[in-house]
């Protein structure tokens, strides 16, 4: 899977190591209305999550640099993008991760012109939740090379340790900044084109959802031996909080 704009839990499509949008959810099922109320669809073909009601956390490869930007439309509040209840808000500013060069540091914030009145998704602030089973959701393709989806899809994906993931991707992986998830042996479950920038999440000890990853890249979608690669949120939680402050959040 390649970093891109439409992954969900896997990532790109052709294994290219550069930041290019790529995924949708593969092997998943439709999410229920209100199940993941912080999910946002972005007009460039990426996903995201409400970090604040007026700030979306997405992938760096989904945006072009930092600065004023009024051209991105965020759609929230619904699982069906065609629903008349969809809330549509334009961006005002974008802040791409400082130092992002296409490898690692794949996060960005989008400031919205007004809040989307939905719950937000807290970030994991330590590595304690970076193992186990995760959920990834998005409106990306449901198969490699497939079409973007109208309805939000979700799929559960198990953690893949750094050593195993490193064997699959070699030097393309940045283990101190990324984590991997997927069915390594069988494939079949993953994020895909159009899921990029969306959240990888799980419940904490209190039973509340927290974001542990951001859909970043991968080799194709749901291929055996090629797990999805996600930005490790806990590594950047403090940087994201600081950046949100700079945006006035």
Evaluate whether 139 touches 81 at the Cβ level (below 8 Å).
yes
For the question of residue 61 being annotated catalytic, the response is: yes
Evaluate whether 238 touches 126 at the Cβ level (below 8 Å).
no
Task: Kindly name the residue from 61, 190, 191, 234 that is annotated as catalytic.
Answer: 61
- Residue 78 phi, psi (nearest 5): -140, 160
Evaluate whether 9 touches 31 at the Cβ level (below 8 Å).
no
Spell out a b/e string for 150-175, using b for 16 or more CB atoms within 10 Å of the CB, else e: eebbbbbbebbebeebbebbeebbbb
Task: Kindly name the residue from 5, 91, 106, 142 that is annotated as catalytic.
Answer: 106
For the question of residue 126 being annotated catalytic, the response is: no
Task: Kindly name the residue from 66, 191, 196, 234 that is annotated as catalytic.
Answer: 196
Catalytic center residues: 61, 106, 196
């Amino acid at each position: 899977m390649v970093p891109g704009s439409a992954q969900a839990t896997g990532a790109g499509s052709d294994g290219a190591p550069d930041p290019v949008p790529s995924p949708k959810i593969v092997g998943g099922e439709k999410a229920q209305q209100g199940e993941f109320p912080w999910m946002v669809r972005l007009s460039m073909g990426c996903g995201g999550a409400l970090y604040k009601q007026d700030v979306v956390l997405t992938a760096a490869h989904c945006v072009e640099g930092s600065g004023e930007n009024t051209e991105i439309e965020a759609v929230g509040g619904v699982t069906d993008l065609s629903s008349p209840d969809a809330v549509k808000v334009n961006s005002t500013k974008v802040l791409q991760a400082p130092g992002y060069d296409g490898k690692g540091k794949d996060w960005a914030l989008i400031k919205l012109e007004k809040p989307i009145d939905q719950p937000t998704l807290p970030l994991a602030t330590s590595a304690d939740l970076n193992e186990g089973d995760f959920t990834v959701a998005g409106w990306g393709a449901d198969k490699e090379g497939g079409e973007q989806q109208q309805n939000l899809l979700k799929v559960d994906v198990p953690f893949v340790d750094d050593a195993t993931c490193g064997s699959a991707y070699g030097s393309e992986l940045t283990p101190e900044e990324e984590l991997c998830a997927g069915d390594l042996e069988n494939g079949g479950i993953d994020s895909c084109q159009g899921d990029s920038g969306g959240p990888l999440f799980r419940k904490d000890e209190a039973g509340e959802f927290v974001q542990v990853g951001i859909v970043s890249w991968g080799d194709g979608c749901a291929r055996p031996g090629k797990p999805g690669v996600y930005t490790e949120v806990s590594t950047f939680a403090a940087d994201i909080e600081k950046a949100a402050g700079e945006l006035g959040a």
